[in-house]
Amino acid sequence: MGDKNKADTSLNPKQRSRREFLESAGTTAALASAVPVLGISTAQAQSDIESTAAKTRIQLTVNGSRHSVDVEDRWTLVEVLRDQLDLTGTKIGCDRSECGACTVIMNGKPVYSCSQLAVWADGTQVTTVEGLASGGQLSPVQQAFVENNGPQCGFCTPGQLMTATALLSNNATPNADEVKQALVGNLCRCSNYNAIVEAVVMAGERSGSAV
Amino acid sequence: MSEAIHIGLDPLNTIGNATARVDAVERVTGEAKYSRDFKLPGMLYAQILRSPHPHARIRSIDTSAAEALPGVRAVITGDNASVVWGAGSVSGGRQYNDPTKDATLHRRYIFNNPLRFVGDSVAAVAAIDRHTAEQALALIKVDYEELPFVLEPEAALEPGAPQVWPDGNLCPDFRNNFEPMVSNLGDVEAGFAEADQIFEERYETSFIHNAQMEPRAALAHWEADKLTLYSPTQGISNCRHDTARDLGLQDHQVRIICNYMGGGFGNKNQNQDADLVAATLSKQAGAPVMLEFSRRDDWLGVHGRWPTVQYYKIGAKNDGTVTAIQMRGYSGMGPYRKNSGGISGMDVYACPNRLRSISPVYTNRTTSGNFRAPSEPHGFYGVESMMDEVAYKLGVDPVEFTLKNMRRPTDDQPFTNYSLDEVITTGAQQFDWASRRKTTPGSDEGPIKRGSGFSFMMFRAGVGTSSAIVRVDAQRQYTLFVGVTDIGPGAKTTMGMIAAEELGVPLDQVEVVAGDTDRCPYSVGESGSRTTIQTGYAVMQAAKDLNQQIADSGMPTGSDVLIASATPNPSTDGKTRQCFGAHFVEVEVDTRIGTTRIVKYTTVHESGRIINPTTARDQIRGATLQGIGQALHEDLLYDPASGQPLTTGYYRARHLTHLDIPEIDVTFIEVDDGYGPFGAKTAGEAGIILAPAAMANAISNAIGVRMTSLPISRDKILEAMA
């Protein structure tokens, strides 16, 4: 955005764009590989206010399906998932890496999709909550959430499930402390934490012992 | 998994059996559609510009550059969109109706001038996508005249304080009387004269944002003169009614849809300004409009629990009998009195001399309003901390002190049942209170100190009349139409279980249709812990009616159906109907760094018959944890120099995470008092009422210093030990 816009509303958080925020945050591992892309798009963004925003074509695989999407440089991964691919199971709770409601699995690791620019997702494999069940069968952790009341309001549930799934793929039978450590970045304001941890432990015990 | 202990009643056929939610699969697969998950053809995205100043007059707004931005479809401000948000300013939190709307002196509009807090709405934009809307906000030029501001309720009442409204900073009641809320029983002065000792202390509690995970959103869509709103609300019926009144429509011209809702804890009651802004933008743009709040929008634009200051004066005899309770309180309401500002708690004592005076006060902080048990957790913290202190100073066990002084049924005021003695003694035994508490507070040697605290309560749910409709077809499929929204506690499941029990069929034979005002009859809404008892009672009565019809005329055949409806007005025959509870907690305080760790947490509740043990257990555990967060962490800090809020977010307000969570032991003492659906009482707000008082008492028992300010953060513990 041009500087002229900053003067009027210096205390308004809206004035700080998504891209500016993510660039200044700059701690994510994906940043390094995305710098060349950002370098190009920053120049283009100067004219965004007056013209249609430039788009970059990215390819990504979501829940096993390949997608080719033309994305604006300011779009985040969660916007692509929700707005372009209609995968609205992934939620936006804070849009600032605080709450974890937007957690998806990218290349095997849980990430906050609100804090991944869409262009960074080029070439990645992404799993969302819609991809957990297969053949009409809930995954073990989904099934445990059903039985032990994992969701209250359910808004944090997709994120909790994705982090728990990533945990279980690395540690098939986690104990309660290990679950808490892994899920610390997923907030639940219903404070249904006890039930969530119990469900993840239960899922591990069931499928871990079956292996 | 850890199950609650149930004492007293055996399960029925459906009720009382641990039951998975009827919509659990939708909740774990991402199929559940929340308001922001809907997308309509041609839908625009909207954003709100908010005040950067705590108090300012708008001299002028220039929206021309925003309007000229390609992709912008509508820009509204107070100049071209003057809509009263009635429920945002109903003095004293009265139910919003025509007389109240007319009488309300200090009205809140969707855009106000002057602006009275950082976050007050200035303008809104609808555009083809959210980023264009965001860009357009930055192009709106506002000329602000900054005004003096005041943040603290006591300071706001001092002479010469900046005036939030021209009539002074003491909030008017719903009749526009500028008086404190006073409740006076007996004669406190006589009670103080009778006392051997007098105890006085000042307590304060912080603003607690509801901080529900789903930020507010509203999707508005007009078809001719009918408005459909996809809105996260805790009460679709009241949301419809309030929205219609605010927009000058009839109820039938508004349809509210909310099947899934990402938490509210009291801040999604009724309608919200977001609904009115989205509807107004949609009308102007001629297209569906999705208004999305950012987390910061939600933190500042939607209310939280009012901060309070409470001055107590207690008279007691040396034998531990309380002779007088006096409390003078101040509640910071922000610039609108959206709800009561109540500070409750002292009425759980039998002491005949009680004087309470509460001043709800305007400030230039963000608005205060209902949060799960609106008047209770902070009030119970104040009065039960005070009584705990009195007990220890008199050398009496706080549990014994409570059993001596708590309110009991009288001939004048009978209860439907009374189980507080059993609740407290069961909890004390389970927790091993006698050996865990420190007879001399702070007596542990060394820097790491343990101590235990206790709190107790009785609580009455909200009232109101709901309707329900039950239908059966020739295939013996039952459909229950009920106007609840499942905001988290599991109302859809609970309503289905009540219907299945009464109808004598399995739960999977009952489909529950909820969350849509065009399909469901009136329900009071998910507030005041009343859905199970009020709406559930309507479900039970409708099912009884249907059973009678089936008995009279047999099951329907062919394409025929039988339909029954009920709108009962549940009565308790003049008796007081309360739920009861007691919490016991042991904490370990590291006095070198000020941290508090929970060693053991025991809860005992009597909420009548428990409908679904699984969801009831987690109502208690979740609410207790919210109360622990209030006790230890949560606050909305303001910079006194600039009036800027500093902790608008989860990290900054330090909400509990997975790593902070102790085991919470839950016991239900079950009783069927003959009222409510199958004897069910209320549970949703019970847990949060008790946690702050129990935690504060435990910390004081550990360190030997009374903690008089919430949250009991690390710096306050370090200060107390210095």
pLDDT digits 0-9 by tens, B665-682: 999 999 999 999 999 999
Count CB atoms within 10 A of the CB of residue B465: 15
Q: pTM for this one? A: 0.94
Position B530 scores a pLDDT of 87
Q: In the predicted model, what is the mean pLDDT of residues B406-427?
A: 97
Predicted confidence band of residue A17 (pLDDT cuts 50, 70, 90): low
pLDDT for residue B253 is more than 80: yes
Q: Which residue has the tokens 């006194």?
A: B640
pLDDT for residue A2 is more than 70: no
Q: In the predicted model, what is the mean pLDDT of residues B211-226?
A: 97
Position A197 scores a pLDDT of 98
Nearest to A12 among B31, B49, B661 (CB): B49
Position A32 scores a pLDDT of 32
DSSP strand pairing (B468-473 vs B561-566): antiparallel
Position A209 scores a pLDDT of 63
**Residues B693 and B381 sit within 8 Å (Cβ to Cβ):** yes
pLDDT for residue B243 is more than 90: yes
Pick the CATH number of A4-131 from 3.30.70.260, 3.60.60.10, 3.10.20.30, 3.90.226.10: 3.10.20.30
- A138 vs B644: CB contact, 8 Å cut-off? no
Rg, C-alpha atoms of chain A: 19
Exposure class string for B471-508: b at 16+ Cβ within 10 A, else e: bbbeeeebbbbbbbbbbbbbbbbbbbbbbbbbbebebe
Cα separation of B58 and B78, whole Å? 10
**Residues B358 and B179 sit within 8 Å (Cβ to Cβ):** no
**Residues B313 and B200 sit within 8 Å (Cβ to Cβ):** yes
Angle at A48 between CA A47 and CA A52, to 5 degrees: 115
pLDDT for residue B222 is more than 90: yes
List chain A domain ranges: 4-131, 140-210
- A15 vs B212: CB contact, 8 Å cut-off? no
pLDDT for residue B551 is more than 90: yes
The shortest C-alpha distance from B177 to chain A (Å) reads 37
B307-333 tens-digit pLDDT: 999 999 999 999 999 999 999 999 999
- A152 vs B39: CB contact, 8 Å cut-off? no
Residue B165: exposure state from Cβ atoms within 10 A (0-12, 13-18, ≥19): middle
Among A83-87, A195-199, B460-464, whose mean pLDDT is lowest? B460-464
Position A1 scores a pLDDT of 34
Residue (of A133, A137, A140) closest to A168 by Cα position: A140
Does B33 touch chain A if contact means CB atoms closer than 8 Å?
Answer: yes
How confident is the prediction for chain B on average, in pLDDT? 96
Predicted confidence band of residue B99 (pLDDT cuts 50, 70, 90): confident
Contacts of B27 in chain A (CB under 8 A): 145, 151, 154, 157
pLDDT for residue B82 is more than 60: yes
Residue A150 tokens read as 């994992």
Predicted confidence band of residue A188 (pLDDT cuts 50, 70, 90): very high
Predicted confidence band of residue A16 (pLDDT cuts 50, 70, 90): low
**Residues B21 and B493 sit within 8 Å (Cβ to Cβ):** yes
A80-110 tens-digit pLDDT: 999 999 999 999 999 999 999 999 999 999 9
Residue B405 tokens read as 């002084």
Query: Which residues 149-168 in chain A show a CB within 8 A of chain B?
Result: 149-158, 161
Q: What ipTM goes with this model?
A: 0.97
How confident is the prediction for chain A on average, in pLDDT? 82
pLDDT for residue A7 is more than 80: no
Interhelix angle A193-210/A140-147, nearest 10 degrees: 140
Exposure class string for A173-190: b at 16+ Cβ within 10 A, else e: ebeeebbbebbebbbbbb
What domains are defined for chain B?
A: 1-9+409-460+576-722 (3.30.365.10), 35-147+217-292 (3.90.1170.50), 463-566 (3.30.365.10)
Position B526 scores a pLDDT of 87
Interhelix angle A140-147/A157-170, nearest 10 degrees: 130
Residues 6+ apart with CB under 8 A from B499: B470, B478, B480, B510, B512, B539, B540, B542, B543
pLDDT for residue B62 is more than 80: yes
Cα separation of B230 and B214, whole Å? 14
Peptide bond into B114 cis (omega under 30): yes
Nearest to A98 among B629, B651, B656 (CB): B651
- B36 vs A15: CB contact, 8 Å cut-off? no
| Amino acid residing at B175 | R
**Residues B423 and B604 sit within 8 Å (Cβ to Cβ):** yes
B335-363 tens-digit pLDDT: 999 899 999 999 999 999 999 999 999 99
Residue (of B261, B656, B613, B666) closest to A193 by Cα position: B656
* φ/ψ (deg, to 5) at B358: -120, 130
pLDDT for residue B176 is more than 70: yes
The shortest C-alpha distance from A36 to chain B (Å) reads 23
Position B461 scores a pLDDT of 80
Predicted confidence band of residue A19 (pLDDT cuts 50, 70, 90): low
Predicted confidence band of residue B1 (pLDDT cuts 50, 70, 90): low
Handedness of CA A177, A182, A185, A190 (dihedral sign): negative
3-state secondary structure of B638: strand
B503-550 tens-digit pLDDT: 999 999 999 999 999 999 999 888 888 899 999 999 999 999 999 999
Position A20 scores a pLDDT of 59
B617-659 tens-digit pLDDT: 999 999 999 999 999 999 999 999 999 999 999 988 899 999 9
pLDDT for residue A45 is more than 50: no
Predicted confidence band of residue B92 (pLDDT cuts 50, 70, 90): low
B17-32 tens-digit pLDDT: 999 999 999 999 999 9
Position A42 scores a pLDDT of 34
Q: SS3 helix, strand, coil % of chain B, rounded to 5?
A: 30, 25, 45
**Residues B324 and B315 sit within 8 Å (Cβ to Cβ):** yes
B265-310 tens-digit pLDDT: 998 888 999 999 999 999 999 999 999 999 999 999 999 999 999 9
Task: Say whether A140-210 and A4-131 share the same fold.
Answer: no
Residue B442: exposure state from Cβ atoms within 10 A (0-12, 13-18, ≥19): middle
Position B90 scores a pLDDT of 76
pLDDT for residue A159 is more than 70: yes
Residue B48 tokens read as 């709100």
Position B700 scores a pLDDT of 98
Peptide bond into B556 cis (omega under 30): no
Predicted confidence band of residue A47 (pLDDT cuts 50, 70, 90): very low
Does B238 touch chain A if contact means CB atoms closer than 8 Å?
Answer: no
Just give the CATH number of A140-210: 1.10.150.120
Q: In the predicted model, what is the mean pLDDT of residues B427-449?
A: 98
Instruction: State percent of chain B over pLDDT 90.
Output: 92
Angle at B530 between CA B526 and CA B533, to 5 degrees: 130
Residues 6+ apart with CB under 8 A from B288: B40, B41, B42, B43, B44, B219, B220, B221, B282
Cα separation of A22 and A31, whole Å? 9
Cα separation of B259 and B27, whole Å? 11
- What number of C-beta contacts closer than 8 Å exist between A and B? 225
pLDDT for residue A26 is more than 80: no
Residue A110 tokens read as 């849980």
Cα separation of B62 and B48, whole Å? 15
